[in-house]
Structure 1
Amino acid sequence: MKTQTKIAFSLVLFNSFILLSFSVGIYFFLNEYSYIDFYKRLETRASIGAKYNLKIDMANAETFRKIRDQHLEKLEAEKEYILKVSAKTDFEQLSETHHIPVSLLKNIMKEGRGRHQEGNVFYSGIKLQHENATYIVIVSANNRFVSHHLQFLRNILLWGILFTVVVTVYLSVYFSKHFFDPIKEMIDKVKQISTENIHLRLKEPENNNEISELASTFNDLLNRIETAFETQKNFISNASHELATPLTAIIGEADVALIKERKPEEYQKVLQNVLQQAERLNEITRSLLFLAQTGYKGKNVAFEIVRLDEVVWEVKALIDRLNPDNKIMLDLSLLPEDHKKLKVSGNKQLLHLALANLLNNACKYSHNKPVSVHIGSSQEQVMLFIKDQGIGIPESDLPFIYDPFFRASNTHLFEGFGIGLPLARNIIKLHNGTLVLTSKAGSGTSVQISFPLARLVK
């Protein structure tokens, strides 16, 4: 069952239940009240009838008669009984004579008043003492309110329920249909979106309601998916190129070597070229594996308490061995007095790899010009600032610097695969840190890294 039909059905069912309960309640309480009211009216007539028939109040007897005749409505099949009784009265015979229920007579004698109903005929009576005699005064009548008015009310309520249900069905179907029209339009639009036209977007209504919020959320999702598709396409294109280059060189060298017999020196030269390309291929593969591993949550990565300044010194020592011409300068003026403010929770090898990539890039793209490194901390974070005087990154390339294998347009004179920066960013994110890079072509690059302080057990 469609949601639209469910909503319409639920509204009709719920509204009908409420209306039916309300109508039944009205009928029930009015029906109960009608019995009580009718008995009171009969009892009033019995009291008035006794006063003027038995001359209980001689001065006002005639007045009571006129009040009854002029102001009290004549009830349907109304009858009045004034019976003189005593302890020797045979109530069975009295009942048969006047066609009055014997149980009513006995109850009036016992309680002083009584009520009784047989079908649609109602009885109400009282017992009176007058001039040393006992009298029972009974008035009976048909309850026209029950037989006529309540039946009329019941018919009105039933027709009202039927009419309301019909109107509710129509309005429920109408409003549920129009309520779901924007959603249907969204569904139709979404069905048109595929990988070939992922640039399409849903129309966002101007009114700020749940539908516009849904459309906005879906458009945001499409933006992220489109970005992911573009990144994937660039990755596949660049990775294919980077992997194909050494493979092509290896195959070419092997084909040339096998064309004819060659001297041992030539074979050695070919093998050296093959080894060089194989090492390049191995480096690309290892970088891709690191990139893939750090792209996940890192559940299998062992974390420990690490001093970030020690990692920086170890990275500088490594770069000094590999690139003696580097001019990395460590600024210790911002170091905190408390060494605990330099400790982070992380994996030392991964942090070493991330910082080595960033510092290597700073040296490489600045032709070994001075690179400044500042270490500082706050109450919540350890911060690292790296500033070089290199070629910088063109503004048009900045949105793509974290795409694997992407290289800025001004780096064609430098060797590299375009994996170092994405890998460093993944490692820093894995440690709940942030990396902010700012750069301008010809003006160098600045990198700001921050890690949350380690929670030490006291």
Structure 2
Amino acid sequence: MRTQTKTTLLFLLPFLIVLSLFGGFVYFSFLNYSHNDFFRLLEIRAITAGKIELDNNPTANIKEIKELRDQFFEKLPQEKDYFFPLEEVEKFHDESETLGLPISFFENVIKNGKSDFKKNNVFYKGIIYNSTKGKYIIVASAENYYELHHSAYLKRTLFISIIAAFIISALISLYFSKYIFKPLRKITERVNQISSENLHLRLDAGSKNDELNDLAVTFNTMLDRIETSFETQNNFISNASHELRTPLTAIIGEADVILSKSRSQEEYEEAIKIMLVEAEKLESKTRALLFLAQTGFNGKIQKFDKIRLDQLLMDVKETLEKINQKNKICLDMSLLPENPNMIKVNGNEQLLHLAFSNIINNGCKYSDNQPVSVALGASNNSVFVVIKDTGIGIPESELKFIYDPFFRASNTKSYEGFGIGLPLTRNIIRMHLGEIEVKSIQNQGTTVQINIPMYKF
């Protein structure tokens, strides 16, 4: 069963229950009112009968009064009046059996002055009437025509109304469920359009802050990860074939040359040394490529935890200064917020250590060990780190290529490196749902700003 149908039924079921309870309440309220009203009518009939039959008014024309009563009073089905002198209490038991009334009915009349009784659809009203002839118990009875016919009409009306209301509600619910699920259908259609050939497509998150917006944002985040993984895999294959070809060619070429004719001991040793150097380069590039591929948003492998970035940057500074004592790293903590929780992020400590080490080490290397400033702060629900050097910078025309694996700027040929650090750092930062921005002016320096979402407590 489709979710849209389930939603419609889940709405209609309680509505039908409430509507049925309401209909039952109306029906039984009407019955109760009908009973009480009919008993009041019988009481009036009993009093009228008493005045006509028991009161001796010499000036009253009893015959005319009866005619007026029959003319203006509605004749009730099976209408009857019974008169019992109150002194003849011992006869009430016989009379109750004759009329089919319980003896308790007469007892209640004597005790309370009046009493009601209902047998099938015949109603009985008993009262004590003080007449000129003495006290009497008058019992008026009749069939409740109103309940018999009006209740049946009401029952049909309520049943038809409930069915009609249910059908109308079903149609309205179906319409609104289609309206509510329309964005979901659009999301489904859009997702079905996305394949490995067009992973750049994204869902329209819209401007509403609701569950569908959260779903679209989650899907887009997942697509970012998938796209990065595909790019990393594709880049790994193309870059591996390109970058590994150079050292392999050098090794094979050197081996062909050394084997082309007999060589001296020294020539063999020199050739082996050359092949060893190229093999070490090959190993370094292979490790770099593998690590780059592993950081392609593989969130299932990496373990994330709460990390304080000030402590992490201190560790990075200590590590880089141990590796190269000429490195000069200046930590700027002037922008730190008062609340230490505002500089905590959710991440993998080893990966973030590697990412910041790459950027800071590049700053030290390409500025010839001039001081590198590292500032830490927090704003707008994110923690930022600004790394600034005064090195050789990057030519403006080459900035768009800095995230391509193995790309190295044209002014870095005199410096060692493979061009893996910045692509690797970007993958790590994106894995942490962060952003990296690089600004550089040739021969003046480079500024790198990294923003990572603040840890949510």
What TM-score do the two structures reach when normalised by structure 2?
A: 0.73
Aligned: 1:254 with 2:270 = no
User: Any conservation in 1 of the 2:372–2:390 contact (CA below 8 Å)?
Assistant: no
Q: Distance in 2 between matches of 1:222 and 1:348?
A: 25
Counterpart for residue 34 of structure 1: 34
User: Any conservation in 2 of the 1:354–1:427 contact (CA below 8 Å)?
Assistant: yes
Deviation at 1:350, TM superposition (A): 8.8
Deviation at 1:401, TM superposition (A): 3.5
Q: 1:389 to 1:268 in 2, by over 3 A?
A: same
Aligned: 1:319 with 2:324 = yes
User: Any conservation in 2 of the 1:311–1:351 contact (CA below 8 Å)?
Assistant: no
Aligned: 1:118 with 2:119 = yes
Deviation at 1:41, TM superposition (A): 1.6
- Amino acid in structure 1 at the alignment position of 2:138: V
Q: Distance in 2 between matches of 1:224 and 1:387?
A: 31
User: Any conservation in 2 of the 1:121–1:141 contact (CA below 8 Å)?
Assistant: yes
Counterpart for residue 141 of structure 1: 142
Identify which range, 428-437 or 85-94, moves more after superposition: 428-437
Counterpart for residue 22 of structure 2: 22
**Of 374, 378, 389, which aligns to 1:387?**
389
Aligned: 1:275 with 2:276 = yes
Aligned residue runs from structure 1 range 182-261, under 5 A: 182-202=183-203, 218=219, 221-222=222-223, 225-261=226-262
Aligned residue runs from structure 1 range 432-443, under 5 A: 437-443=438-444
User: Any conservation in 1 of the 2:374–2:386 contact (CA below 8 Å)?
Assistant: yes
Q: Distance in 2 between matches of 1:109 and 1:124?
A: 13
Q: 1:443 to 1:117 in 2, by over 3 A?
A: same
Deviation at 1:158, TM superposition (A): 1.5
Q: What's the secondary structure of 2:197's corresponding residue?
A: helix
- Amino acid in structure 1 at the alignment position of 2:38: F
Q: Distance in 2 between matches of 1:302 and 1:177?
A: 45
Q: Distance in 2 between matches of 1:162 and 1:433?
A: 57
Deviation at 1:232, TM superposition (A): 3.9
Aligned: 1:372 with 2:377 = no
Aligned: 1:158 with 2:141 = no
Q: 1:7 to 1:436 in 2, by over 3 A?
A: closer
Aligned: 1:397 with 2:399 = yes
Q: Distance in 2 between matches of 1:169 and 1:123?
A: 46
- Amino acid in structure 1 at the alignment position of 2:370: V
User: Any conservation in 1 of the 2:302–2:348 contact (CA below 8 Å)?
Assistant: no
Deviation at 1:387, TM superposition (A): 1.5
Q: What's the secondary structure of 1:389's corresponding residue?
A: coil
Q: Deviations over 1:210-235 (max 9, x none)?
A: 66775566456545643553344334
Q: 1:14 to 1:58 in 2, by over 3 A?
A: farther
Q: Deviations over 1:290-327 (max 9, x none)?
A: 66589875679999996967964774575367xxxxxx
Q: Distance in 2 between matches of 1:255 and 1:387?
A: 46
Q: Deviations over 1:406-427 (max 9, x none)?
A: 4346646654211233556788
Counterpart for residue 168 of structure 1: 169
Deviation at 1:195, TM superposition (A): 0.9
Q: What's the secondary structure of 2:128's corresponding residue?
A: strand
Q: Deviations over 1:176-232 (max 9, x none)?
A: 345544533442342232111334455677988766775566456545643553344
- Amino acid in structure 1 at the alignment position of 2:14: F
Gap runs ≥5 in structure 2? 335-342, 453-457
User: Any conservation in 1 of the 2:82–2:138 contact (CA below 8 Å)?
Assistant: yes
- Amino acid in structure 2 at the alignment position of 1:275: L
User: Any conservation in 1 of the 2:54–2:132 contact (CA below 8 Å)?
Assistant: no
Q: Distance in 2 between matches of 1:236 and 1:266?
A: 36
Gap runs ≥5 in structure 1? 322-327, 337-343, 452-458
Q: Distance in 2 between matches of 1:16 and 1:109?
A: 48
- Amino acid in structure 2 at the alignment position of 1:247: L
Counterpart for residue 10 of structure 1: 10
Deviation at 1:14, TM superposition (A): 3.0
Identify which range, 81-90 or 307-316, moves more after superposition: 307-316
User: Any conservation in 2 of the 1:311–1:352 contact (CA below 8 Å)?
Assistant: yes
Q: Distance in 1 between matches of 2:262 and 2:119?
A: 130
Identify which range, 147-156 or 198-207, moves more after superposition: 198-207
Deviation at 1:441, TM superposition (A): 4.0
Q: What's the secondary structure of 1:123's corresponding residue?
A: strand
Q: 1:155 to 1:230 in 2, by over 3 A?
A: same
Q: What's the secondary structure of 1:371's corresponding residue?
A: coil
Counterpart for residue 101 of structure 2: 101
- Amino acid in structure 1 at the alignment position of 2:101: P
Q: Distance in 2 between matches of 1:285 and 1:275?
A: 15
Q: Distance in 1 between matches of 2:350 and 2:102?
A: 108
Q: What's the secondary structure of 2:394's corresponding residue?
A: coil
* Percent of paired sites with the same residue: 40
Identify which range, 263-272 or 8-17, moves more after superposition: 8-17
Q: 1:54 to 1:406 in 2, by over 3 A?
A: farther
Q: 1:176 to 1:308 in 2, by over 3 A?
A: closer
User: Any conservation in 1 of the 2:254–2:271 contact (CA below 8 Å)?
Assistant: yes
Deviation at 1:153, TM superposition (A): 0.6
User: Any conservation in 2 of the 1:395–1:441 contact (CA below 8 Å)?
Assistant: no
Identify which range, 128-137 or 28-37, moves more after superposition: 128-137
Number of matched residues? 434
Identify which range, 23-32 or 45-54, moves more after superposition: 45-54
Q: 1:363 to 1:275 in 2, by over 3 A?
A: same
- Amino acid in structure 1 at the alignment position of 2:141: S
Deviation at 1:379, TM superposition (A): 11
Q: 1:29 to 1:255 in 2, by over 3 A?
A: farther
Q: 1:179 to 1:270 in 2, by over 3 A?
A: same
